[in-house]
Amino acid sequence: MRKKLLLSIALAGIVSVASACGTPESGSESGSDTSQAPAEESAAPDAAPEIPEADLEGVPDVVAVVNGTEILKADFESVYTTQYRTSATQSQMSGEPVDQDELKTQTIDGMIGTELLVQEAGERGLEASDEAITAALDELVAANQLGSADEFYAALAEQGMDEATVKDQLATQVQVEQLIQEEAGDTAPSEEELTAAYDEAVAQQEEQNAQSGEETEVPPFEEAKPALEEQLKTQKESAAAETLVTSLREEADVTINL
């Protein structure tokens, strides 16, 4: 979903809170599979060990300052903890330990990029309409498999985030999305780009089939086309956002205290 990309780029804070909203049944496909596993399998001796707590020792009260705007400890810890849990889960599968120093650097760099985008959206006078905020809220409700906006607000309230704060962040999200779309321009992929992406997907699936011995097929081009269009649009918007952040940071006054 395109919205998820922009959320991850532009509003890591609300993503970290929103990701805590889902119940075990509303997680990823792999999470659903795990929750449905037989009890005796979940209790197997070779079950994955419990994820250790994130190392938050020594995080300063003000982690960074971006053009005079402070990124505070509480906000950093919220985002970092979520990213650490994701990385730690992946490390259990790969066997590679999480480099928490590197992850902290990546986290604060991402948050600085977020702040720069927010500031630029404000500089350009981009505004969020009520309709756009409602649409963003609806997408988050659906993404977290919740029944209504009230359920979404209630779940966020459990994380210490009141409704007014959520609405403010949703408005900021919409502004940043407008900024990225403005930078990206026309992101509609050409037929040639779609065909190339499809051929690449087929080749990747064939390679996976050869490694696994299975025979999974990619859907026909016309069936796969809508997903490919969304994927390519997302890639173009991501590239535009990264280019803009790089440009803004070159001119920004940034201090990192981490």
Pairing status of strand 62-66 against strand 254-256: antiparallel
Q: Which two tokens stand for residue 1?
A: 């979903």
Q: What's the mean per-residue pLDDT of the chain?
A: 82
Query: Cα separation of 88 and 96, whole Å?
Result: 9
Does 43 score more than 50 pLDDT? no
In a domain, 152, yes or no: yes
- Cβ pair 49, 76 in contact under 8 A: no
Q: What is the CATH number of the domain that holds 161?
A: 1.10.4030.10
Give me the mean pLDDT over the 199-222 stretch: 92
Tokens 């796969």 belong to residue: 224
Strand-pair partners of 70: 65
In a domain, 45, yes or no: no
In a domain, 115, yes or no: yes
Query: Cα separation of 59 and 57, whole Å?
Result: 6
The SS3 of residue 256 is strand
pLDDT tens-digit profile of 154-204? 888 887 778 888 888 888 889 999 999 999 999 999 999 999 999 999 999
Domain count of the fold of the chain: 1
pLDDT tens-digit profile of 53-110? 889 999 999 999 999 999 999 989 988 998 898 899 888 888 888 899 999 999 999 9
Lowest mean per-residue pLDDT among 38-42, 72-76, 176-180, 248-252 = 38-42
Query: Cα separation of 43 and 62, whole Å?
Result: 43
In a domain, 51, yes or no: no
The SS3 of residue 70 is strand
Query: Cα separation of 117 and 182, whole Å?
Result: 12
Give me the mean pLDDT over the 225-246 stretch: 94
In a domain, 118, yes or no: yes
Query: Cα separation of 84 and 89, whole Å?
Result: 8
Total residues found in the chain within this entry: 258
Query: Cα separation of 13 and 3, whole Å?
Result: 15
In a domain, 143, yes or no: yes
In a domain, 197, yes or no: no
Give me the mean pLDDT over the 16-32 stretch: 37
Read off the pTM.
0.74
